[in-house]
Chain A
Amino acid sequence: MLEELANDWPSDASDDLEGKIEISGEEIRERMSGNLCRCGAYANIVAAIRDAATETSA
């Protein structure tokens, strides 16, 4: 997911297919969809992914 975000690959939640992806909660939830690991149920996972994505692209 971090690679997708770093490459600005769009998802179903993206408003723009070609622009910079805004790493919103909605984006992260859509991109986690279908991930059956139980980590997906932790309340802080979206914030954690956002932190990691921001660090990676910084």
Chain B
Amino acid sequence: MRSFQYERARTLGDAARLVAGADAMAIAGGTNLLDLMKLQVETPGELVDINRAGFAEIEDTDDGGLRIGALATNTATAVHPRVRSDYPVLARAILAGATQQLRNKATTGGNLCQRTRCFYFMNIDQPCNKREPGSGCGAIDGVAKLHAVLGTSDECIATYPGDMAVALSALDATVQIASVDGAERSVPVRDFHCLPGDTPWRENVLEDGEVITAVTLPAPVAGVQLYRKVRERSSYAFALVSIAAIVEMRDGVIARADLSFGGLAHKPWHEPRISDLLEGAAPSAELYDAAADLLLEDARGYGENDFKIPLARRTLHAVLAQAVEDAA
């Protein structure tokens, strides 16, 4: 690890001011950043500790939703009574990720900003366009078992590794962002992360001098909420494919279907045409297949990860069948 300056932000304004500048990074739980610093993948000149800057509360919003502070830990969120009762897909997704020790430290904002676990990104002796623009991508034609099959580019096929954001995407949550100049803005979780394109180092829409202050959930909706995570080990492993699903049945037809997918792309994947297809339709195996066709029409495997395409199809089938059964 290289030496760095350490500063502690006492307020939100402090945090935004201190993180402005190319050489500074915010640290909260540090569950991802410290690993990357030890590997010298991240080499900030200055670390800004935002743990004491406030905004850790979880509170009801005026419209019946929930506001989760950016510094609320994953554990605090997953065990919050309203998250467990009104947004169970979020509790399930968080509990499916990492381990209790990590979830006790990891925060909402940090989790959204976590980096890919691509082996080439995490090894400074390997080429990686994300870490070192122009150096090439080792994963294309390389070890790519964990890599993306949707929304890839010739520059990068890394995945966004998290679980929480997949549930937030299905719930259509919003990221609240404050800027060093005092401005505030809101970005839907579905638009927060970027596809790699020809700027794979840009993983989300945060600009220099901006910090996430909270994630807000809309008022709860009716229906069954499921999070299915398929992984190589049943605990403490990243998703090969995951699906967050909110499904409501009414009179034998699907009244609502909001789905988002993890493990498939550089961002939680949300395909609005799947909701359009499913809503108003009677459930059937053919319908689930048509949904999978929509999801996977542009899917592309890179050898080692070819299996993700049929796996995503089967997982979508299983999730929809389960949700429909539970919701009936």
Residues of A within 8 A of B (CB): 1, 4, 7, 9-12, 14, 17-18, 29-31, 33-35
Residues of B within 8 A of A (CB): 75, 78-79, 81, 84-85, 88, 91-92, 95-96, 98-102, 235-236
Select B99's contact among A7, A9, A33, beta carbons within 8 Å. Answer: A33
Closest to B102 in A: A34
User: Bound state CA distance, A10 and B95, in angstroms?
Assistant: 8
In the bound assembly, the distance between CA atoms of A11 and B101 in angstroms comes to 12
The residue of chain A having its C-beta at the shortest distance from the C-beta of B100 within the complex is A31
B164 to chain A, nearest CB (A): 13
C-alpha gap A25/B91 in the complex (Å):
22
Determine chain B's interface SS by DSSP, over half rule.
Answer: helix
Interchain CB contact (< 8 A) of A17 among B92, B100, B102: B92
Count A-B contacts at CB 8 Å: 42
Residue in B79, B98, B99 whose CB lies within 8 Å of A10: B79
Q: Is the CB of B101 within 8 A of A34?
A: yes
A1 touches B91 (CB 8 A): no
Residues of A contacting B78 with CB < 8 Å?
9-10
Once the chains are docked, how many angstroms separate the CA of A8 from the CA of B160?
31
Option from B79, B85, B98, B102 in Cβ contact (under 8 Å) with A9: B79
- State the CA gap A37–B276 with chains docked (Å): 49
Report A-chain residues with C-beta under 8 Å of the C-beta of B95.
10-12, 14
**Are A30 and B79 interface neighbours, CB within 8 A?**
no
Chain B nearest CB: distance from A17 CB in Å? 4
Q: Is A12 a contact of B84 with CB atoms below 8 Å?
A: no
Q: Please judge, given known A-B contacts A9-B79, A12-B96, A35-B99, whether A17 and B88 are in contact too, CB under 8 Å.
A: yes
